[in-house]
Structures are given as C-alpha cells and as structure tokens.
Amino acid sequence: MDMPLIPPGINATPEDKANGERMRRRRELPSFRRTFFFVNMGLLLTAIGIVIFKAPNHFALGGTSGLSIILSTLLPQFDVGDFMWMLNVVLVVAGLILLDLRTMGWTVFASFALSFYVSLIEIIWPRVTPLTSNPLLELCFAVMLPAMGSALVFNVGASTGGTDILALILKRRTHLRVGQALLATDGAIVAVAVFLYGAETGLLCILGLLAKTLIVDNAIEGFNQSKVCTVLCPDPAAAIDFLVNQLYRTATLTQVQGAFSGKPMTQITVVLSRPEAVRFRAFLAEHEPQSFMTMVSSSEIIGRGFRSI
C-alpha cells in the first residue's frame, strides 16, 4: 500500500489559515514603514560615504555625487550638497516630464532625501581633508558605505535617484539598456575625474566604480538569501504541522523510497528564510533526531509567499 503523502491531523484551523495569509502578504508586500526605514538607512549610509570619504579624496565614482564633487572642485564656493540639490532638481523634473510618476516612485523622495542628508552631514562634520593618509583605505570605505546603502534601497524596490533617472530616460529615448546607460554616464564622470585629478586618483575612481558594482550585487544577494530545505524523517506529521501552523509555510511532499532499506518515505521540500531555517532545524533536532536534512542557499526566490513575480 502506498504511503499517504499528507499525514492525518495536519488540518489548519481557519485562524491558522488567516494568520498564514497575513504572513504571506507581509512577506510579498513590504509595509510602507519598513520601506521608508530601509530607504532612509541606505541613503544615510550613502551620504556618510560621500561626505566623509568620497569628497575629501576627490573620488568621483559616477552618479550625481561624483559630478557634484567635480563641480565643487571647479567652483569651490559651493559644497557638494549644493550641487546635488541642483542636479537632482533638474533630473527629477526631467524624469517627471519624460517618464511618468509610477516609474519615478520612490526615486523622487530618494533624490531629495540624499541631497538633504549630504547637506546635513556637511554642516555637522565639514571635512576638507581625508581622515587618513592612505588613499586605498579611504577608497574601501568610499565604496563600501554607498554600496551597502544602495543595496538596502534597491532591496526594497526603490532607487537612489540621480543618474538612475538619466539612465531610465536614455533607455526610453535610445536603444541603450539601463546597465549600459548607467555605465555610459558613470564612465563619462570618471573620465573627467582622471583628467581633473590626475592618473592616481583617476585610477582609484575606476577601481572604485568596478568594486561598487560587485559589492552592490553581492549585498543584494545576501539580503535576499533563502534556504531550500529537503527533509526525510520517519514521521513527517510533526514536521509538517510545525511548518504549516508555526512558520506559516507550505511545502511540497513527494513520496520516495530508500535505496538501501526499500522503505517508502515522504520527502518534504520547503523554502525558508534563514531565521526560519534555523528554527526548523532546531525543531527537527529536538523532535525528529533521526531526520535527514539538506539545506541549499538560494539568492532569489520568486513566487507566492516571497517576492512577487
């Protein structure tokens, strides 16, 4: 006789189902407060990197911040934050005219909020000289802080604004892709930095621009990392009940057979966040110590209960 895939007694109550649906919506659609918090945290990190590390070292790594650093060098009576306000106003107006409000979204807020944070930090801690005498060490922080900030912002579906708007306009008006358009605009800014600040600073700018791309991609993958868990246990009822009624996760059940024992078993396949995977492993260790479990990391899960397609 075939073993039933769904053990008896795993019937969720209406309250459990309602809780599960509420958790699913929360996972798929981040709340406004959560988005607002992460956007501002990301912009604050970016602003710290610009004011404390980028501007004093003339690290024009592209974007409105890079162009503002160059313009501030040519017109020293203005701060970097002043030029960021000017550039972002022009780009936002152009974006609203040439694109549409839905495309802009959080970009309008992020553009002005980043300019505000840069101006605020310049007032609180006006730096005109680097913190250290090691340009490479300064470059690490000049790249790492804005990259982590950008990753936080991108991870909630927002944008830091600036040349992102220009890239979207170029994409719509030309045959360039967004990545190519960003590379073209940032590359032009770095080229000016090489001419203006000399070979050493220019080469550091090129190195920083390349490193920023890698750090942003890896950081986003780290934020979105989930665990694909496959479990074989003698009695799957308790494990399934824990997944459905405690973690509010569904799972795929497959009837399999052991190669050595020949016994039929139910295989549980489930995708969990890292904290959920830790809780599930601890549950199995306590209640099903004979279980066999494998966990594989996945950088992106798309579908019901995770990110919307």
Fold assignment, 14-28+225-298: Alpha-Beta Plaits (3.30.70)
CB proximity list for 233: less than 8 A, separation 6 or greater: 239, 265, 268, 284, 288, 290, 291, 292
Structure confidence at residue 9 (pLDDT): 46
pLDDT for 177 beyond 70: no
Q: What is the mean pLDDT of the chain?
A: 81
Domain assignments of the chain as residue spans, ordered by start = 14-28+225-298, 32-223
Averaged pLDDT, 259-279: 87
pLDDT for 302 beyond 70: no
Structure confidence at residue 171 (pLDDT): 65
Of the pLDDT bands very low, low, confident and very high (cuts 50, 70, 90), residue 226 is confident
Report percent pLDDT > 70 for the chain. Answer: 78
269 strand-pairing partners = 230, 252
Of the pLDDT bands very low, low, confident and very high (cuts 50, 70, 90), residue 255 is confident
pLDDT for 37 beyond 80: yes
- For the segment 89-138, what is each residue's pLDDT rounded down to a tens digit? 888 888 888 776 665 677 888 888 999 999 999 898 877 788 888 999 99
Q: How many CB atoms lie within 10 A of CB 285?
A: 11
Say which residue, 1 or 17, is predicted with more confidence: 17
